[in-house]
Homo-oligomer: A and B are copies of this chain.
């Protein structure tokens, strides 16, 4: 049985690896993310490698093995189902549930999780728009793109808020920047480092850094701008 700490490391590695699956994650990054000193990560990563959950290349970084990825998806499934449960059943605000789920994800049994999944109607996405892995470990992975990479006239639907700090979530909510909202890019001001878009009939301007925290599924006609 993986300890709570092991689950947290594995989940974090998964998330650091997300932009480019299979990529090596540096131990320094991991130390920052886990809020521990670098030496602690070196020690821990060796133990994870010993347990077959990651492959570790000294001075290069870590990467999840298939077993590690399976565990990561299990933890994420628990985390995201709990978040959705808290929002839908207990009427929490979606900006508050992250920290709560962080604790509960290590305490719910498979049986309880199954009840929750059933009660919620086997949902595919959590309140932030993140996909909920299936019990078998499959994830729906829609092609999403950060808002800061948009071009004028692009049009799409907000799918996820990647930056899940409570303050940012409140900021986004207050402006209608929530999963499901339609957006149309009005202008991109490169020197001004900002982007202006239309949401719910209102024009909003936000900086590139903030825009990077919002992921959008563009409508087909703009899909060519990908690559």
Contacts and interface: CB of A to CB of B under 8 A. Distances in A.
Contact of A100 (B90, B99, B106, B109): B109
Nearest to A97: B112
A107 interface: yes
Contacts of A119: 90
Given A106-B107, A107-B106, A116 B100 contact: no
Nearest to A102: B107
Contacts of A89: 89
A82 to B, nearest CB: 10
A171 interface: no
A4 to B, nearest CB: 10
A140 B198 CA distance: 57
Tallying the copies of this chain within the complex gives 2
A107 B79 CA distance: 13
Interface in A86-114: 86, 89-92, 96, 99-100, 103-104, 106-109, 111-112
Contact of A115 (B92, B99, B107, B108): B92
Given A90-B116, A90-B119, A92-B115, A107 B104 contact: yes
Contacts of A96: 111
A108 B104 contact: yes
Interface centre among A91, A115, A119, by most chain B C-beta atoms within 10 angstroms, is: A115
Nearest to A91: B115
B115 A90 contact: yes
A113 B210 CA distance: 33
B116 A109 contact: no
Nearest to A99: B109
A89 to B, nearest CB: 7
A53 B86 CA distance: 33
Interface of A: 86, 89-92, 96, 99-100, 103-104, 106-109, 111-112, 115-116, 119
Given A103-B107, A103-B109, 4 more contacts: A92-B115, A96-B111, A106-B107, A107-B107
